């Protein structure tokens, strides 16, 4: 296995986020990537790690994202000061159908929540993150069986025209669209604690991409509102979206059973490439999530995914426990690499 990562992710260091009108320290930290990378290299010293810059073709991004939104990300470099955070303290209950003029209103227009902070270099950092995914994914398309895009910021909440849930570019979805253009039949398997609402939104009416997700019940956890088990797709996409929603303190047995159900659907779809939105926020001590998986659970999950036998791109998403996230990653990849 090889790893790609962003050489620019340290430029994005949000200080705060708001939850229930309370401002607190941000949970998205550059140490996540550093800890995982160091631990994997200590365990497997011969691992090849390729650092990626922000040079990515804009047309590739526009396959998923609106031009106006990409322009907004680019403009942060001139609008924001060095070290400045730009977050929302509330989200207005109004429907905005065109870009507003006022800078503060643009933040409402281009962001769906109060957790996601725009920083000065967010365009560079997000493009570098996607470039890591794109670089790894192209190797997988050439039948390299496992590549890991150790990316930050994550991407599975990002919408075509909005940032959401710490996500700015829809990393896995952008590459999935690229894979379809290469005549591939991809599956997105999202095993993050939070639902990958970006991918579901993007591919919900299509049959050329299967989207599957195990996640916390949105009735109680982000992204709220929708993303439930009865959402199976619309139009051509009916039957090509599958959600399994779990209650608080879902343990290893419940999780593995749910994964078996999703993997059975993946096998029936006859995919030729698997894109896994990888997570470590299902860990029992994660500070913002409430599942009950142990460090050892991750090797069992990896074993089941590996047994599918598909070329697989692993795309890093969530995980916020800085003490043990590296242990979770080593447990997962021991099954993939050993």
Residue 18: per-residue pLDDT: 82
Residue 95: per-residue pLDDT: 56
Q: Which residues of 227-246 are buried (b: 16+ CB within 10 A; e: fewer)?
A: beeeeebeeebeebbbbbbb
Residue 224: per-residue pLDDT: 87
Distance, in Å, from the CA atom of 190 to the CA atom of 168, rounded to the nearest integer, reads 17
How many structural domains is the chain composed of? 1
Q: Averaged over 116-123, what is the pLDDT?
A: 95
Q: Averaged over 71-95, what is the pLDDT?
A: 79
Model pLDDT for residues 11-60, shown as the tens digit of each residue: 999 998 887 778 889 999 999 999 999 999 999 999 999 999 999 999 99
Reply yes or no on whether the pLDDT at 73 is more than 80: yes
Tell me the residue range of the domain where 198 lies: 2-337
Q: What is the 3-state secondary structure (H, E, C) of 14-59?
A: CCEEEECCEEEECCCCCHHHHHHHHHHHHHCCCCEEEEECCCCCHH
Bridge-based pairing of strands 22-25 and 16-19 is antiparallel
Q: Averaged over 101-120, what is the pLDDT?
A: 88
The CATH number linked to 323 is 3.40.800.20
Residue 86: per-residue pLDDT: 77
* pTM of the predicted protein model: 0.96
Residue 278: per-residue pLDDT: 96
Q: Report the 10 Å Cβ neighbour count for 42.
A: 11
Positions marked catalytic: 157
Q: Match 């396959």 to its residue by tokens.
A: 63
Residue partners of 20: CB distance under 8 A and separation at least 6: none
Distance, in Å, from the CA atom of 118 to the CA atom of 72, rounded to the nearest integer, reads 10
Distance, in Å, from the CA atom of 31 to the CA atom of 295, rounded to the nearest integer, reads 19
- Mean residue pLDDT of the chain comes to 93
Residue 89: per-residue pLDDT: 61
Model pLDDT for residues 196-252, shown as the tens digit of each residue: 999 999 999 999 999 999 999 999 999 987 789 999 999 999 999 999 999 999 999
Residue 225: per-residue pLDDT: 78
Cβ atoms of 332 and 293 within 8 Å: the answer is: no
Model pLDDT for residues 144-183, shown as the tens digit of each residue: 889 999 999 999 999 999 999 999 999 999 999 999 999 9
Reply yes or no on whether the pLDDT at 320 is more than 80: yes
For residue 153, cis peptide bond before it (omega within 30 degrees of 0): yes
């Amino acid at each position: 296995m090889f790893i790609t990562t962003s050489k620019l992710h340290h430029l994005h260091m949000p200080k705060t986020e708001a939850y229930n009108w309370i401002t607190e320290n941000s949970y998205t930290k550059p140490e996540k990537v550093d800890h995982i990378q160091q631990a994997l290299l200590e365990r497997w010293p011969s691992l090849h790690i390729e650092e990626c810059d922000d040079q990515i073709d804009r047309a590739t991004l526009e396959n998923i994202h609106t031009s106006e939104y990409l322009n907004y990300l680019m403009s942060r470099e001139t609008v924001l000061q060095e070290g400045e955070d730009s977050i929302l303290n509330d989200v207005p209950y109004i429907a905005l159908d065109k870009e507003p003029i006022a800078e503060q209103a643009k933040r409402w227009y281009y962001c769906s929540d109060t957790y996601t902070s725009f920083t000065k270099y967010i365009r560079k950092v997000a493009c570098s993150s996607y470039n890591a995914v794109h670089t790894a994914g192209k190797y997988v398309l050439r039948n390299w069986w496992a590549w890991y895009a150790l990316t930050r910021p994550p991407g599975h909440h990002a919408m075509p025209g909005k940032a959401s849930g710490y996500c700015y570019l829809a990393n896995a979805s952008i590459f999935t669209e690229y894979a379809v253009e290469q005549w591939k039949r991809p599956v997105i398997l999202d095993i993050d604690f939070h639902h990958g609402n970006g991918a579901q939104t993007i591919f919900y009416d299509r049959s050329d991409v299967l989207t599957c997700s195990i996640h916390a019940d949105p009735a109680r956890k982000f992204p709220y509102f929708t993303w439930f088990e009865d959402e199976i797709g619309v139009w051509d996409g009916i039957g090509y979206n599958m959600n399994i929603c779990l209650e608080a303190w879902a343990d290893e047995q419940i999780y593995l059973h749910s994964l078996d159900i999703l993997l059975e659907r993946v096998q029936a779809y006859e995919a030729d490439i698997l894109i896994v939105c990888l997570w470590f926020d299902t860990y029992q001590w994660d500070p913002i999530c409430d599942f009950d998986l142990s460090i050892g659970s991750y090797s069992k999950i990896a074993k089941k995914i590996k047994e599918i036998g598909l070329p697989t791109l692993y795309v890093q998403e969530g995980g916020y426990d800085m003490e043990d996230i590296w242990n979770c990653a080593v447990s997962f990849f021991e099954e993939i690499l050993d």
